[in-house]
């Protein structure tokens, strides 16, 4: 009695023959070439820091607060005010540089409401 083979049986047979061929081909592969060690990598050269590139911070202590002012190329970038009692805040110049805007942090991301319930 002849049984007609289904396409699934044929696919399975082809996959098995392909896998067997791959296994046999691996056994006859040439040996890998001799590997040489890599030369030692030297560390990058030291970069001399230019004091003009970083911000110049001036710290002033007054009666009840500390004021830190950061300047880059003579222009005020931010001012951090830390009162004796309370949280510090930043004063950041607006786009024109004529007025300062108060921010609780320099983070400009999403502002999620937070309530302080207990503090130790």
What CATH number has the domain bearing residue 83? 2.20.130.30
CA distance 91 to 97: 11
Percent of the chain that is helix, strand, coil (3-state, to 5):
20, 25, 55
Q: State yes or no: pLDDT of 3 exceeds 60.
A: no
pLDDT tens-digit readout, 5-33: 677 777 777 787 777 766 665 666 677 78
Q: What is the largest CA-CA distance in the chain?
A: 106
Q: Is residue 4 part of a domain?
A: no
Q: Is residue 62 part of a domain?
A: yes
How many CB atoms lie under 10 A from the CB of residue 85? 6
- The phi-psi region of residue 31 (left if phi > 0; otherwise alpha if psi is between -120 and 50; otherwise beta) is beta
Host domain of residue 67: 56-103
Q: Is residue 77 part of a domain?
A: yes
Q: Is residue 44 part of a domain?
A: no
Q: Is residue 63 part of a domain?
A: yes
pLDDT tens-digit readout, 54-107: 778 899 998 889 999 998 888 888 899 999 888 889 888 888 778 888 887 777
Give the chain's domain count.
Answer: 1
3-state secondary structure of 87: coil
């Amino acid at each position: 009695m002849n049984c007609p083979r289904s396409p699934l049986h044929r696919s399975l047979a082809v996959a098995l023959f392909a896998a067997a061929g791959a296994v046999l081909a691996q056994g006859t592969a040439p040996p890998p070439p001799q590997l040489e060690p890599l030369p030692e990598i030297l560390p990058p050269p030291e970069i001399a820091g230019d004091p003009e590139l970083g911000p110049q911070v001036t710290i002033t202590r007054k009666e009840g607060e500390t004021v830190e002012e950061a300047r880059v190329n003579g222009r005020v970038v931010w001012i951090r005010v830390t009162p004796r009692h309370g949280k510090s805040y930043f004063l950041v110049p607006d786009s024109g540089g004529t007025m300062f805007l108060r921010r609780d942090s320099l983070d400009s991301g999403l502002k999620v409401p937070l309530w302080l319930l207990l503090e130790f």
